[in-house]
Each structure stands twice: as structure tokens, then as C-alpha cells.
């Protein structure tokens, strides 16, 4: 992987709690290239969500470096908010503002941070809502939407900032099973369009079908990574073999 294609580079990333009693991340090295869909899997408590949330410093590392577009964002002199604008984040529980309409939820950040006019921001928001089949819900409030609809709104809200990478933290785990597909379909479309994505998920079908690379984490360490076919069909480490044998029954 040539350096010019690397969008995110992680070196020696550590996140400790209670001194060093809890090692959520324990020396992780990783690279994410432009256009990749990197899917992180592992048991609960393995560090995968901490890893994802560290990429835009929602979790402040105990040690190590994270380079985004060649800039060390762990350097205290760096304006992290400027770099966060290039990283779309989609959470497990949507994080929509309940007192604002869907349209207002989507236009707030582009108008405030990117200084777009209301008309420009609303035009873009309506186009994106149309893409996910929710243009008719623009004036609804989050409480009037299903979980799947809220998560689709959360995804296109992040896209309103025209990010260079999308970070997904277990985006379907809070949804009813019948709503999972509609959210994964939006993510698949993004992947096919070449969006760089880092996804923490329990959806192994998505990881195999859409991922360009899968990471397996356990006890704060990156144990194994490979292309989806090799990752699922020929796992190398005994720990990954044991993990897959339990979830791919």
C-alpha cells in the first residue's frame, strides 16, 4: 500500500483505564487506504469500538499516534474539529436532535461549520433524503420515524458534511431485525460508490460481502486481518477460528 493512498495510519495505539488495569487498546497498528471498506469484528469488550472512536479522538488515546491525511491528529496543537469535519460518524443510537425536524438535523452542521446558505444546505439534504427514500419525511421529527429510518437519516446527515471517510459504530445493533437490511443497503451503496468506510459490526454477511478487509480484535489487540474470503474461510489464529466457529453456525 503506497503512502499516498493511506488515508488513516494508526501507530502503537493504546487506551488504558484505571492506570493500566484495563487495556481497552494495547498497541494497535493499522492502515486504512482511500476507498477501502474496513470491517472490525470481535467479541464484546475486544476494543473494536474504542479503536473506531479513537480515529476521530472521541476516545483520547493513552499513547500512540493517529495520522489522518498525513496529519498527526494526536498532536495537541492540531485543531481536531477541522479534521472531524472530514470524518462522518454514525452511532449505534442515531444521536439525532429530538426537538428538530429531520431537515433541520441535516442542515445544522453544513450551515454552521461549512458556512453553506440555508437554501444550499436544504437542497443537498433533500437530495440525500431522496437517495434513502425519506424525502417525504423531511419535516417530521425523529420520534415519528422508525429505528431504521432514523439510522438512514443519521447516515445521510453525516454525508451532508461531504466527509472523506465514514465511521460506523455498530450501526444496526439497536435495530429490530427487519430494519437491519434497509440500513445495510444504504451502506452497501456507499461502498460501491467508493466511500472510505470503517465499520464495527456484528453483521458477518455484510463484512463478507462488502468489506475489502476484515480486522479481528480481541483483548485490545489486532489479532488478524485479511481479505474477507481468507478471513472467513481460512482463519489463521486459533482465537479467530474459535470466534468464527461460534458465530457462523
CA distances from 236 to 82, 208, 216, 232, 249 (A): 40, 16, 11, 10, 19
Quote the distance between the C-alpha of residue 142 and its chain's center: 21
Please name which of 172, 159, 104, 110 lies closest in space to residue 131, comparing C-alpha atoms.
159
Helix (H, G, I), strand (E, B) or coil at 221: strand
* pLDDT at residue 249, as a whole number: 66
Task: Give the rounded percent of residues in the chain with a pLDDT score beyond 90.
Answer: 84
β-sheet bridge partners, residue 196: 165
Backbone angles phi, psi at 155, to 5 degrees: -70, -50
Q: Which residue has the higher pLDDT, 248 or 86?
A: 86
Closest CA to 107 of 127, 80, 87: 127
Q: Name the residue with cell 452542521.
A: 109
pLDDT digits (tens, 9 = 90+) for 144-189: 999 999 999 999 999 999 999 999 999 998 888 888 999 999 999 9
- 75: Cβ contacts below 8 Å, ≥ 6 apart: none
Question: Nine-digit cell at 114?
Answer: 461549512
Reading the block at residue 215, the C-alpha cell is: 480486522
What is the Cα 66 distance to its own chain's centre? 16
16-67 pLDDT, tens digit per residue, is 998 888 899 999 999 999 999 999 999 999 999 999 999 999 999 999 999 9
Confidence of residue 1 (pLDDT cuts 50, 70, 90): very low
pTM of the model: 0.93
Taking the C-alpha atoms of residue 229 and residue 226, their distance in angstroms, rounded to an integer, is: 8
SS3 assignment, position 32: strand
* Alpha-carbon dihedral sign for residues 62, 23, 53, 215: positive
Amino acid at each position: 500500500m503506497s503512502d499516498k493512498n493511506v488515508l488513516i495510519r494508526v501507530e502503537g495505539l493504546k487506551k488504558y483505564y484505571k492506570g493500566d488495569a484495563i487495556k481497552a487498546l494495547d498497541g494497535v497498528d493499522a492502515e486504512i487506504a482511500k476507498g477501502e471498506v474496513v470491517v472490525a469484528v470481535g467479541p464484546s469488550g475486544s476494543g473494536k469500538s474504542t479503536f473506531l472512536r479513537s480515529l476521530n479522538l472521541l476516545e483520547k488515546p493513552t499513547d500512540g499516534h493517529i495520522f489522518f491525511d498525513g496529519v498527526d491528529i494526536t498532536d495537541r496543537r492540531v485543531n481536531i474539529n477541522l479534521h472531524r469535519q472530514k470524518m462522518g460518524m454514525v452511532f449505534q443510537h442515531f444521536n439525532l436532535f429530538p426537538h428538530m425536524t429531520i431537515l433541520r438535523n441535516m442542515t445544522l452542521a453544513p450551515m454552521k461549520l461549512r458556512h453553506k446558505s440555508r437554501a444550499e444546505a436544504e437542497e443537498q439534504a433533500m437530495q440525500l433524503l431522496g437517495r434513502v427514500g425519506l424525502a417525504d419525511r423531511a419535516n417530521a421529527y425523529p420520534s415519528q420515524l422508525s429505528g431504521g429510518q432514523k439510522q438512514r437519516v443519521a447516515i445521510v446527515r453525516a454525508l451532508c458534511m461531504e466527509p472523506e471517510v465514514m465511521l460506523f459504530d455498530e450501526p444496526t445493533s439497536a435495530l429490530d431485525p427487519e430494519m437491519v437490511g434497509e440500513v445495510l443497503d444504504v451502506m452497501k451503496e456507499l461502498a460501491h460508490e467508493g466511500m472510505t468506510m470503517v465499520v464495527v459490526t456484528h453483521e458477518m454477511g455484510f463484512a463478507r460481502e462488502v468489506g475489502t478487509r476484515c480486522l479481528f480484535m480481541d483483548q485490545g489487540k489486532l489479532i488478524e486481518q485479511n481479505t474477507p474470503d481468507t478471513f472467513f474461510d481460512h482463519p489463521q489464529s486459533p482465537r479467530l477460528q474459535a470466534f468464527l466457529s461460534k458465530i457462523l453456525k
